[in-house]
């Protein structure tokens, strides 16, 4: 029983230190709130609006319509891949790079799915859709939204620490 409690205590400690490492060191926006907000607008809100609008207007009967809809999604995902590559940090074993790798991987999945739909529509003249693949885009953006919210918390905590001048008793 005691051994079990030790193991679970150790696991909790490991999870806590993993979260701390992620929160403190691996922020893809490096604590820059403005950068995070611009990312939110240009790589999250706009692509989601464009994707949603394209999918709403989509009719499976028109192959060109399907191809053009998935081209817009493809361009959005390629934009995100480009942005993630530019954020890459040339540091071995960096938490930030691990997150960026997951984001790039998920975006590549979306891009490949879009390419498959486009080529099948244009070459085989068939529609092969499975939009569950688009959820990869959402999961990738979850990482970005966690880091964006972290930027705000970091800003607040920094202001608080500055006002207390580091005095823990205040």
Q: Which residues bind another protein (CB under 8 A)?
A: 19-20, 23-24, 48, 52, 55-56, 90-92, 94, 131-132, 134-135, 138-139, 141-142, 145-146, 149-150, 153-163, 165-168
Q: Smallest distance from the beta carbon of 1 to another protein, in angstroms?
A: 29
- 53-60: long-range pairs with CB below 8 Å, 24+: 55/131, 60/127, 60/129
Nearer to another protein, 98 or 158 (CB): 158
- How many CA atoms lie within 13 Å of 40's alpha carbon, on the beta-carbon side? 13
Nearest to 109 by CA among 68, 138, 137: 137
Nearer to another protein, 104 or 140 (CB): 140
The residues, ordered by sequence, that sit 6+ positions from 52 with a Cβ below 8 Å of its Cβ are none
Report CA-CA distances (Å) from 88 to 57, 76, 82, 93, 158: 36, 19, 10, 12, 25
Q: Smallest distance from the beta carbon of 131 to another protein, in angstroms?
A: 5
Nearer to another protein, 4 or 62 (CB): 62
DSSP assignment of 35-60: HHHHHIIIIIIHHHHHHHHHHHH--T
Q: Smallest distance from the beta carbon of 161 to another protein, in angstroms?
A: 4
Rg of the chain over CA atoms, in angstroms? 21
Nearer to another protein, 104 or 143 (CB): 143
Q: Smallest distance from the beta carbon of 135 to another protein, in angstroms?
A: 6
Nearer to another protein, 123 or 162 (CB): 162
Q: Smallest distance from the beta carbon of 146 to another protein, in angstroms?
A: 5
The answer to whether 76 and 50 have CB atoms below 8 angstroms apart is yes
């Amino acid at each position: 029983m005691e051994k079990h409690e030790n193991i679970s205590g150790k696991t909790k400690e490991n999870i806590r230190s993993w979260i701390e490492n992620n929160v403190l060191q691996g922020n893809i926006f490096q604590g820059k709130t403005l950068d995070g907000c611009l990312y939110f607008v240009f790589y999250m809100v706009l692509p989601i609006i464009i994707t949603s609008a394209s999918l709403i207007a989509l009719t499976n009967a028109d192959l060109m319509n399907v191809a053009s809809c998935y081209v817009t999604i493809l361009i959005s995902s390629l934009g995100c891949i480009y942005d993630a590559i530019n954020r890459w940090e040339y540091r071995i074993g960096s938490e930030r790079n691990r997150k960026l790798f997951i984001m790039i991987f998920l975006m590549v999945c979306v891009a490949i799915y879009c390419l498959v739909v486009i080529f099948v529509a244009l070459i085989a003249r068939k529609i092969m859709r499975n939009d569950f693949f688009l959820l990869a885009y959402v999961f990738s953006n979850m990482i970005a939204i966690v880091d964006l919210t972290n930027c705000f918390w970091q800003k607040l905590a920094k202001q608080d620490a500055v006002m207390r001048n580091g005095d823990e008793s205040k």
